[in-house]
């Protein structure tokens, strides 16, 4: 540990919150608006999913409004479909960007045989976007650019930028480190919010962080240094503050009661069209924003 202290200097960034979340079947909810999301917004939900290679029927058609989701896979594949007309399979290393905004539905689950695991992040949208048009983008692994050990899923790291348009000043990275490797993250000047969540392995920052754990750092734009004690996979989020309240529905997050009502009305209109097509619409654990 003395060697690591020399790398990070005398005043490392402090961990102020840590959690292993709550597991429901293959999904572990690490963050929600009723707890950590209030302090880390625009990051409002984070789910770690791992089907451990077992049979998993997936999530039926379910709605969102006022938010965008970003799904990243470390291993395996998932199937997806949504009301923008997109459908297919997302492989490991690929990204699903689903901006529900004014209201949309989607569904999916395990893809091809074998274990599937990854993260789904939910972002609260600012007022000028929360009732806007929905959009979805599905990136192949070769279209996700990296800077060193970090795949840039959203925002910019050094000279590398994601082609996805972030709704505000946000960086979201997927990082792989080998045992013994060190890595430094320097947030943009306006990013006071930073957190990490480990899919596997163990880090020192310098406090130890274990696989399956999420930790939040003190509000600062100070750099964060990492040392991998084992081979480690983790996601990192940093952002400027989201200076708006969170109005929560069962499947929506908005900045006001009025915009929440408008988003949920839109969701009901789409539901009627889906049911006419004979699709089974149902709420799922991963879609229930009020839990």
* pLDDT the model gives residue 260: 97
Domain that holds residue 259: 2-287
Is residue 74 within 8 A of residue 199, CB to CB? The reply is: yes
Residue 113: pLDDT above 70? Answer: no
* pLDDT the model gives residue 291: 33
Q: What is the pLDDT of residues 153-197, one digit of tens each?
A: 999 999 999 999 999 999 999 999 999 999 999 999 999 999 999
Percent of the chain at pLDDT exceeding 70: 88
Distance CA 236, CA 73 (A): 14
DSSP annotation string for 104-154:
EEEEEEE-SSS--EEEEEEEEPPTTTTTS--EEEEE-GGGS-EETTEEEEE
Distance CA 148, CA 153 (A): 13
Domain count, the chain: 1
Whether this prediction's pTM lies above 0.75 is answered by yes
* pLDDT the model gives residue 288: 39
* pLDDT the model gives residue 34: 85
Cβ count near 84 (within 10 Å): 17
DSSP conformation class of 8: H
Q: Quote the tokens at residue 269.
A: 């209109």
Residue 268: pLDDT above 60? Answer: yes
Cβ neighbours of residue 165 closer than 8 Å, sequence gap 6 or more: none
Query: CA geometry: angle at 217 spanning 28 and 253, to 5°?
Result: 50
Q: How far is CA 291 from the centre of its chain?
A: 17
Higher-confidence residue of 115 and 68: namely 68
Residue 158's CATH number: 2.60.120.10
12 confidence band (pLDDT: 50, 70, 90): confident
- Residue given tokens 């069209």 in the structure block: 273
**125 Rama sector, left if φ>0, alpha if ψ -120 to 50, beta otherwise:** beta
Q: What is the pLDDT of residues 37-53, one digit of tens each?
A: 999 999 999 999 988 76
Q: What is the pLDDT of residues 215-250, one digit of tens each?
A: 999 999 999 999 999 999 999 999 999 999 999 998
Q: Quote the tokens at residue 52.
A: 């451990």
* pLDDT the model gives residue 61: 76
Average pLDDT over the chain, rounded to an integer: 88
């Amino acid at each position: 540990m003395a060697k690591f202290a020399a790398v990070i200097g005398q005043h490392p960034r402090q961990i102020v919150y840590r959690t292993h979340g709550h597991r429901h079947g293959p999904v572990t909810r690490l963050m929600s608006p009723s707890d950590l999301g209030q302090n880390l917004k625009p990051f409002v939900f984070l789910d770690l999913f791992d089907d451990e290679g077992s049979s998993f029927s997936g999530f039926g058609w379910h709605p969102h409004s006022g938010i965008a989701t970003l799904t990243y896979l470390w291993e395996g594949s998932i199937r997806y479909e949504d009301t923008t007309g997109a459908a297919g399979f997302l492989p490991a290393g690929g990204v699903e960007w689903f901006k529900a905004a004014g209201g949309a539905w989607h569904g999916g689950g395990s893809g091809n045989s074998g274990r599937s695991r990854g993260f789904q992040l939910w972002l609260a949208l600012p007022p000028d976007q929360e009732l806007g048009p929905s959009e979805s983008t599905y990136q192949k692994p070769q279209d996700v650019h990296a800077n060193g050990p970090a795949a840039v899923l959203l925002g910019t790291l050094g000279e590398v930028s994601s082609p996805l348009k972030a709704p505000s000043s946000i960086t979201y990275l997927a990082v792989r480190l080998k045992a013994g490797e060190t890595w430094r993250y320097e947030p943009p000047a306006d990013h006071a919010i930073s957190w990490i969540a480990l899919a596997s392995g163990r880090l020192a920052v310098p406090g130890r962080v274990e696989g399956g754990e999420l930790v939040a750092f003190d509000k600062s734009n100070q750099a964060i240094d990492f040392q991998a004690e084992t081979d480690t996979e983790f996601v990192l989020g940093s952002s400027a503050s989201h200076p708006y309240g969170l109005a929560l529905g069962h499947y929506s997050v908005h900045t006001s009661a009025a915009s929440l009502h408008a988003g949920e009305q839109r969701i009901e209109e789409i539901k009627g069209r889906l049911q006419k097509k004979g699709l089974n619409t149902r709420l799922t654990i991963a879609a229930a924003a009020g839990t």
